[in-house]
Amino acid sequence: MAGLLEGRVAIVTGGGRGIGRAIAEALARAGAKVTITAARSNAELAASADAIAQTVGAERVLALTGDVSREADCRRVVDETVARFGALHILVNNAGRGYRFILDANAHLPEPERLKFWNTPVELWRTIIDTNVTGPFLMARAVVPHMLKARWGRILNIGVTFNSMRKGGNAPYGTSKATIEPATAIWAQDLAETGVTVNTLMPGGATQTGMATALSAAGGRKLLDPAIMGPPAVWLCSDEAADVTGARVDAKKWDTNRAGADSFIIARAPDLIPDA
């Protein structure tokens, strides 16, 4: 896949670790210049930027702090990316807050009182919804004008399995990630025939990320390597996927031994919102 994204510029939110870091590294190896973001400056963000720089050169990576739930931060990240690299073609909406926040809220509660939707703290709900729902909207809203001007763009929303969306005791996170599905469908239609595509990419199961906990691997469950997100992300962001929009892709089913178009047919997941 080397060179598949040569000349492209990407923003990967939440690019300091886990899925975001894996995708950012894959895009960079494929030729893209990459901005990675985190809500706050930290060692993980710096380490991710250093790893990319060592592979493709420091001039092709930019690490920025920015909270995706804040409109001003989203606009600043976009502006600084364009100022540094001269263009913007790809957005990966990966930043998110997940199950670990729910576990932390449960830590002081006895088992019968573990979080249900009716006793979920309002601030916890708002934190997760603001990051996982409003964040992708604000970032997409900020990048799309640049993509429309270029008549070329790729937006990848990071999704989850149906089981993760509907898991009991997981109301804020499950609800927030379920929202990605209609968002992808609607944005893809709104951007039809503009040269900008919108797709959802999911790992296909519990993944070893910053959100992972001991419970994720309960019962001997093996966590997925976030690196599996790289190959489908690169292909979906390439010219080869120009006709693919509004789709859900399961990275666990992606076959790197096949051509991208063939792998897409295998890895495409059923739409959760079928046409009426």
pLDDT tens digits, one per residue of 188-208: 999 999 999 999 999 976 766
Q: State which residues form the domain around 168.
A: 9-269
Mean pLDDT (the chain, rounded): 89
Average pLDDT over residues 223-247: 94
Query: What is the pLDDT at residue 270?
Result: 87
Q: How far is CA 97 from CA 6, 100, 135, 150, 176, in A?
A: 31, 8, 11, 32, 10
Q: Are 37 and 59 in contact (CB under 8 A)?
A: no
Catalytic residue among 85, 99, 173, 254: 173
- Tell me the per-residue pLDDT of 122-156, one tens digit each, with 9 for 90 and over: 988 999 999 999 999 999 999 999 999 999 999 99
Least confident range of 58-67, 115-124, 156-165, 267-276: 267-276
CB proximity list for 226: less than 8 A, separation 6 or greater: 18, 19, 21, 22, 203, 207, 208, 209
Residue 206 covered by a domain: yes
Query: What is the pLDDT at residue 152?
Result: 98
Calculate what percentage of the chain has a pLDDT beyond 90.
69
Query: What is the pLDDT at residue 12?
Result: 98
Q: Is the pLDDT of residue 213 over 90?
A: no
Number of domains in the chain: 1
Residue 3 covered by a domain: no
Residue 276 covered by a domain: no
Q: Which residue has the tokens 């990675």?
A: 36
Residue 1 covered by a domain: no
Residue 72 covered by a domain: yes
Query: What is the pLDDT at residue 271?
Result: 81
Calculate what percentage of the chain has a pLDDT beyond 70.
87
Average pLDDT over residues 12-30: 95
Q: Is the pLDDT of residue 159 over 80?
A: yes
pTM of the model: 0.90
Q: Is the pLDDT of residue 108 over 80?
A: no
What residues pair up with 62 in beta bridges, in sequence order? Answer: 35
Active site residue 173: yes
Query: What is the pLDDT at residue 253?
Result: 95
CA distance 102 to 121: 10
Query: What is the pLDDT at residue 276?
Result: 55
Residue 133 covered by a domain: yes
Average pLDDT over residues 207-221: 56
Residue 249 covered by a domain: yes
Query: What is the pLDDT at residue 40?
Result: 83
Q: Of 67-71, 103-107, 117-121, where does the model show the most confidence?
A: 67-71
Q: Spell out where the chain has E strands.
A: 9-12, 33-38, 61-65, 90-93, 153-158, 196-202, 248-250, 268-269
Which CATH number characterizes residue 30's domain? Answer: 3.40.50.720
Average pLDDT over residues 97-111: 66
Residue 232 covered by a domain: yes
Is the model more confident about 68 or about 98? 68
Q: Are 23 and 251 in contact (CB under 8 A)?
A: no
